Chains A and B, each alone.
Chain A
Amino acid sequence: SAVISQKPSRDICQRGTSLTIQCQVDSQVTMMFWYRQQPGQSLTLIATANQGSEATYESGFVIDKFPISRPNLTFSTLTVSNMSPEDSSIYLCSVVGAGEGADTQYFGPGTRLTVL
């Protein structure tokens, strides 16, 4: 399967600031997604990153808070804007079309965000 990398792997940020997380895949993939996983919880889908167009957001998530870009088939960014301590979480990039199964999701290593 493809190699997925995320930067940064972790960060500690101040309230009110923004952080941009990058996701890079070593091959072209069909779809890219952004998830959030809070401590002890399962995965929550934030949005589908669409290549060349606006992302598709899930209920409870808005573009102003989580702007997403996907300029090509191997790269996407997620920005967490105007952060508060409630945004402390692990943010995960996932891709489809990177290995066995046309509908199988593979996850990047994640970005651990702490907001003070």
Chain B
Amino acid sequence: QKEVEQNSGPLSVPEGAIASLNCTYSDRGSQSFFWYRQYSGKSPELIMSIYSNGDKEDGRFTAQLNKASQYVSLLIRDSQPSDSATYLCAVSSGGSYIPTFGRGTSLIVHP
């Protein structure tokens, strides 16, 4: 059974700090990796997708993928209170349109 593990948190960081969110997965055949942000009472919103080992940067967000270690992370630089949300990691195998979602990590950015 494919599993995606995330620490449920909450992860609390001060405003302006770097928030680091981690995710591990069990299926070595996984090829597509996604990070979603979900505000309370709202639907998940795609932040980033990553497909190759290494880093991918988009504004204040950096996704890091290490397939050998079966590990994907999301770094948020200069964290803002508006970044406070639950972050969902999703992983899918090649050719699949249906990812496995983690339970999410709650992030709190305090002023």
- On chain B, the residues within 8 Å of A112 by CB distance are 41
Size category of the A interface is 20 to 34
B42 touches A104 (CB 8 A): no
| Chain A window 93-116, contacts with chain B (Cβ cutoff 8 Å), 1 for yes, 0 for no | 000100111011111111010000
B98 touches A92 (CB 8 A): no
How far is B44's CA from A43's CA once the two chains are assembled, in angstroms?
A: 10
Indicate whether A53 reaches chain B with its CB closer than 8 angstroms.
no
How far is B44's CA from A108's CA once the two chains are assembled, in angstroms?
A: 8
CB distance from A100 to the nearest CB of B (A): 7
Query: Number of residues in B with C-beta < 8 Å to the partner?
Result: 21
Complex partner residue of B97 from A31, A41, A42, A107, CB under 8 angstroms: A31
CB distance from B28 to the nearest CB of A (A): 18
| Chain B window 94-105, contacts with chain A (Cβ cutoff 8 Å), 1 for yes, 0 for no | 001111011110
CB distance from A102 to the nearest CB of B (A): 8
CB distance from B110 to the nearest CB of A (A): 21
B103 touches A92 (CB 8 A): no
B43 touches A110 (CB 8 A): yes
A106 touches B46 (CB 8 A): yes
- Closest A residue to B98 by beta carbon equals A45
Residue positions of A touching B, CB distance < 8 A: 30-31, 33, 41-43, 45, 48, 90, 92, 96, 99-101, 103-110, 112
